[in-house]
Amino acid sequence: MTNPYYNHSDSIPLAQTRGTSAAIRSEFDLVQAGFASVSADISAISAALGVGTTSVETSLAAGLTTDIGNGYGSFLNLTGSATITSFGSHYTGAKFIRSSGTIVLTNSASLICPGNQNITLNAGDIFIATPIGNPASGWLVRDVRRMSSILVDDDAVRQSGSYANPSWITSLAFSKIAGLPTTAAGYGITDVITTATIGSQSVNYAASAGTAASATTATSAGSATTATTASNLSGGVAGSVPYQSGAGATAMVPAGSSGSFLTSQGAAAPTWTFPPIGLNGVQVFTSSGTFTVPAGITKVKVWVVGGGGTGGPTSSYGCGATGGGGGGAGGVGQAFISGLTPGANITVTVAPGASGSASSFGAYATATGGGPGATPGVGANGGFTTSGATNYVIGGAVLPGTQGVPGGAATGVGGSGAVNTLFAGHGYGGSGGSNGGGGVGGGGGLVIVEY
């Protein structure tokens, strides 16, 4: 407002209408100059100290080091997106700061963030930064406000125990902080709701680490009807399979053999069995050859029969001679073989007649030949072995040969060879010699492949 009694001028004063003298005007000029000088000094001191003299928000580009105290006012708007590790060393009082982009505040000894954790700010978020210590040695970030997020009345949600979007359960603060207490009680919270209504289902839950879907230990399932993930089951070991052994009870089936299948036994515990092989084809080998695994076939069942032993000769010709003993039968057995590769070739060896030698299906199964008859003893029966296969039959498929008997007044009579009761005409033992003659050769071997 203009003084009606005085109109100041830096040059010659204008004529005054109220009778102000020249001397008084000179005094007013000196006072006015003094105020101007003080104002200039205050502005200079503020600039030297980095203290702002305005309350208007100032925009400042965010960077690795953002010097918020270097001549700026108390209200700042950080622009752009950046990671900030320092607010500089010009400590000029508290700063009220707004973020206009995505800014990460990196926690350190000179930039202390809430919870000693890095803070990510989105556009619109606000906080206060104040100097630390006296003399100051850093900045303290406090009162962070998420203006970019929808405000949720978390106290109302806690008391009601339900929410339109039940994902709030898995976003509780204590489930997201690694290395700190993993339960509400660990933070001194004693009034946590343990039952929530989601839709039409009542679900019991415990406030524990992680989310309900990935929790590794459940103290009580309560009335929950579905468990998304269940691990570390009581009583379980590698390879075991859980099953419901009764109402509210779970038991374990021990691990089965490789290639076996779990078969239901009704309400009783399931058992491991080997599956029957559906016959797509059968290949019979009466002489040695090669089995080529057909396309789409990875499992086979084989029968292997060894060659029968030759009967023993008589001791001599004439009265008092002893007949030869019968030869032993070749070994016989069945094997189940899995893990074969279609197109692979497997060598098949079949014992020729009168050889008493072994028959085999690759290295998987071998039936040894029967032993030769003696004078007067009988030959031993062959055996059966497997490697990398499952035995179904071991021996037991042959009858022992009969021993030769002494001759009568004229000649000895040879004993009969052992008989293969499963595969007549193969693997039988030869009969012993009579009347001074030699023993008869045993039967040849056999290999049958079913797939």
Per-run averaged pLDDT (10 residues), the chain, 451 residues? 47 48 68 68 63 74 93 90 94 91 94 92 93 91 83 52 48 49 66 58 48 42 49 75 84 79 83 68 94 92 89 73 80 87 96 91 90 79 76 47 42 69 83 80 92 87
* Residues 6 or more apart whose Cβ sits within 8 Å of residue 254: 239, 240
- What stretch of H or E contains 104? strand 103-105
Structure tokens at 277: 């092989």
Measure the CA–CA gap between 314 and 406, rounded to whole angstroms: 9
pTM equals: 0.39
Q: From edge to edge, which strands make up the β-sheet containing 446-450?
A: 282-285, 446-450, 300-305, 332-337, 390-394
pLDDT score of 218: 42
Alpha helix stretches (DSSP H) within 312-408? none
In 254-349, DSSP assigns E strands to 261-265, 268-273, 282-285, 289-292, 300-305, 332-337, 345-349
| Averaged confidence pLDDT in the chain | 75
pLDDT confidence of residue 152: 53
Q: Which strands, in side-by-side order, build the sheet including 103-105?
A: 82-84, 103-105, 119-121
At 394 the pLDDT is 41
Whole-number Å distance between alpha carbons of 407 and 53: 138
134 contacts: CB under 8 Å, gap ≥ 6: none
Contact 311, 326 (CB under 8 A): yes
Which amino acid is located at 104 in the chain? Answer: V
- CB atoms inside a 10 Å sphere around CB 140: 18
Over residues 350-406, the pLDDT tens digits come to 999 888 899 999 999 998 988 888 877 777 888 888 887 665 544 444 554 444 444
Q: What integer pLDDT is reported at residue 18 of this predicted model?
A: 47
Residue 172 confidence (pLDDT): 52
- Among residues 205, 209, 154, the alpha carbon closest in space to that of 181 is found at 209
Nearest one of 77, 87, 133, 81 to 107, comparing CA atoms:
87
Apex 144 CA angle, 128 and 142, nearest 5: 50
pLDDT at 438: 81
